[in-house]
Structure 1
Amino acid sequence: MEPFIRHTLFNIKDTSDIQTVKPISGGDINQSYYVATREQAYFIKSNEHVSEHFFQVEAEGLKLIQETGAIRVPEVYYYDRPKSGEKAALVMEWIESGPSHSAECFGEHLANMHQHTLEKYGYGNPTFIGELNQPNAWCPTWTEYYSRYRLGSQFKIGVEKGTISSLRKQRLLKLMNKIEQIIPDTPKASLLHGDLWGGNWMAAKDGEAVLIDPSVLYGDHAFELAFTELFGGFPANFLDEYHASFPLPDDYQDIKPVYQLFYLLAHLNMFGEMYGGHVDRILKHYVG
């Protein structure tokens, strides 16, 4: 591993002695390492089974979030665009972590990030949700983007994998065809992290919240908040702080399940039928 890391650091002109290489647990897709040289410490991800743009889209997402000035992200120093079978790396700033409950004003900072908007929905490049490909395009309405590129992409993957068939398939098709009756057509198109579960944020040593591993898009901010409530892992006052800065719509509780559905479909397609019951309950709630 050290020759690969040495070669990787050569790309950012750090030729100082490597003092520490330590594997970091927590990721299902990449190998991750704490690397300290005589000059500084780094967080390095590596993988040899990813698409050419895999690390590029993460780096671009971090840059977009960083440019808002609303919330901290790691500085990106370098990423590879690998050819098939080549080992690739993403080199970032190492941020020393603190206790998660110390993330002061996390909700407020995320709300400020969501105030950065465009006049269109979606994203201009394909991204990923976990290890699944996420096709994107710019759309004039949120309902078109969400139905075609979010629910529709998971529908296609699920049919191919066999996780979406028979009654589940019929219900999901019916839901996509009536999505305009459930979610807003043209909400603010906020910059969203896109994969904001409890493992994709951290508290720095000074208590500042830090976002990591984005899969960015522009869309309804309620979509992002719905996912934060699906698997937990956020400070107790997170939603209150958020709501005080950027109130959620009055019908948030009504639309929250259909927004959570996308992430549950992705988990169904990645991990299997343990998520099927939850998917079916949401589909039955909306389409019978």
Structure 2
Amino acid sequence: MSSNLWDDLMATDGPLAGSELTNAVPVGGGCIHQAWQLQLSDGRQIFAKTGPTDAIKLFEVEAEALDALAHYADPDVLIVPQPQSLIQLRHGAVLLLPWLRLEGNNQQSLGHGLALMHQTSMHQGHQYFGWYRDGYIGAGPQPGGWRTSWGQAFVDLRLRPQLNLLKRFGIDAAGLKDFLKALVRHLDQRDVVPALVHGDLWGGNAASLVDGRGTIYDPATWWADPEVDMAMTHLFGGFTESFYRAYYSILPAAPAAEERVEIYNLYHLLNHANLFGGGYVNQVRACLNRLARKLS
């Protein structure tokens, strides 16, 4: 964070007007924007995410998603940090969130809270899958739109846009037409109730707090099959057995859920391939081949 942006934050018309910034400590973990622990003279600590002025678009989507998730989360077991300020300043964009102490090591409340959030949102009677606006999955695009069919939503709104971006790596979405049709039919065999999901639930976007509660952040939220969140927890690891026991004690796994893990994680492999290339492209090819054989 440049000293100019510090001055913007503390200016009379800035989000921290009247406060004095005593220290700004970089926080690791992000790969798109800078993150900081801001320490103020009155003893407060605030989490700040900063970026260039055009980062305001990503921060707006994130702030809206956090608000939506918090609406369905039970704060006794799951904390979704609520935006304190979202502002575009002269020298950059800033999203301010409460500082959370993430030193907890018991994921029971995290699993419990995630299941309750999914369950509560499912009971709202939402009729469509998707989201009302274009958003982001990390730095990648996540198109908005609505579908009544879960299979169609997953293919049209998630897989197909990512596959179209992979043409530069020699992966032709047009040649996958039959596979995608089969995948829609396969996913629509179940009666899926839309739930509000985190959407990017890897280990770096969830944690346990020192007070025992769980927390989730950095979402890519949409209305989807709640299994997409649980599937992603298996992609990069970081979740304990107590997390899974707590989750499934409230929302038991549907039949053949483990067979859909690779299907749902294909979306994230595609996004990583588009963002980072390299070995992710080969993982996508291998995954597409395996799934095509299973669905043929």
Could you state the TM-score of these two structures normalised by the residue count of structure 1?
0.90
After TM superposition, the structure 1 = structure 2 runs for residues 68-79 of structure 1, keeping only pairs within 5 Å, are: 68-70=72-74, 71-79=78-86
Hey, what does 2:217 align to over in structure 1? 212
Report how far residue 80 of structure 1 moved: 2.6
User: Is the contact made by 1:172 and 1:283 (CA closer than 8 Å) also made in structure 2?
Assistant: no
| Paired letter, 2:203 | G
After TM superposition, the structure 1 = structure 2 runs for residues 1-288 of structure 1, keeping only pairs within 5 Å, are: 1-10=2-11, 11-39=14-42, 40-48=44-52, 50-70=54-74, 71-80=78-87, 87-99=92-104, 101-115=105-119, 116-117=121-122, 118-159=126-167, 162-165=168-171, 169=173, 172-184=176-188, 186-288=191-293
Report how far residue 104 of structure 1 moved: 3.2
Q: How many angstroms apart in 2 are the aligned matches of 1:52 and 1:41? A: 22
Please list every run of at least 4 consecutive aligned residues from structure 1 whose deviation after the TM superposition is greater than 6 angstroms.
Answer: none
Q: How many angstroms apart in 2 are the aligned matches of 1:60 and 1:122? A: 15
Report how far residue 23 of structure 1 moved: 1.1
Unaligned runs of 5+ in 1: none
Report how far residue 2 of structure 1 moved: 3.4
Q: How many angstroms apart in 1 are the aligned matches of 2:205 and 2:162? A: 21
User: Is the contact made by 1:107 and 1:238 (CA closer than 8 Å) also made in structure 2?
Assistant: yes
Q: How many angstroms apart in 1 are the aligned matches of 2:224 and 2:10? A: 36
Q: How many angstroms apart in 2 are the aligned matches of 1:172 and 1:80? A: 42
| Paired letter, 1:72 | I
Report how far residue 275 of structure 1 moved: 1.5
| Paired letter, 2:177 | L
| Paired letter, 1:60 | E
Taking a change above 3 Å as real, the CA distance of residues 113 and 46 of structure 1, as seen in their structure-2 partners, is same
Report how far residue 284 of structure 1 moved: 1.6
Taking a change above 3 Å as real, the CA distance of residues 16 and 65 of structure 1, as seen in their structure-2 partners, is same
Report how far residue 186 of structure 1 moved: 4.5
User: Is the contact made by 1:182 and 1:255 (CA closer than 8 Å) also made in structure 2?
Assistant: no
Identity over aligned pairs, percent: 25
Could you state the TM-score of these two structures normalised by the residue count of structure 2?
0.88
Taking a change above 3 Å as real, the CA distance of residues 212 and 246 of structure 1, as seen in their structure-2 partners, is same
Unaligned runs of 5+ in 2: none
Taking a change above 3 Å as real, the CA distance of residues 2 and 38 of structure 1, as seen in their structure-2 partners, is same
Q: How many angstroms apart in 1 are the aligned matches of 2:81 and 2:261? A: 30
| Paired letter, 2:155 | S
Taking a change above 3 Å as real, the CA distance of residues 81 and 189 of structure 1, as seen in their structure-2 partners, is farther
Report how far residue 273 of structure 1 moved: 2.9
Report how far residue 27 of structure 1 moved: 0.7
| Paired letter, 2:84 | Y
Residue aligned with 2:169, SS: coil
Q: How many angstroms apart in 1 are the aligned matches of 2:179 and 2:17? A: 53
User: Is the contact made by 2:55 and 2:93 (CA closer than 8 Å) also made in structure 1?
Assistant: no
Report how far residue 235 of structure 1 moved: 2.1
Q: How many residues align?
A: 281
CA deviations on 1:258-277 (whole Å, 9 max, x unpaired) are 11100111111111130233
Taking a change above 3 Å as real, the CA distance of residues 49 and 142 of structure 1, as seen in their structure-2 partners, is farther
| Paired letter, 2:205 | N
CA deviations on 1:69-120 (whole Å, 9 max, x unpaired) are 322112211113579xx62111111112214x22332111101111113211
Q: How many angstroms apart in 2 are the aligned matches of 1:90 and 1:75? A: 10
User: Is the contact made by 2:108 and 2:243 (CA closer than 8 Å) also made in structure 1?
Assistant: no
| Paired letter, 2:32 | I
Taking a change above 3 Å as real, the CA distance of residues 200 and 271 of structure 1, as seen in their structure-2 partners, is same
User: Is the contact made by 1:98 and 1:206 (CA closer than 8 Å) also made in structure 2?
Assistant: no
User: Is the contact made by 1:23 and 1:34 (CA closer than 8 Å) also made in structure 2?
Assistant: yes
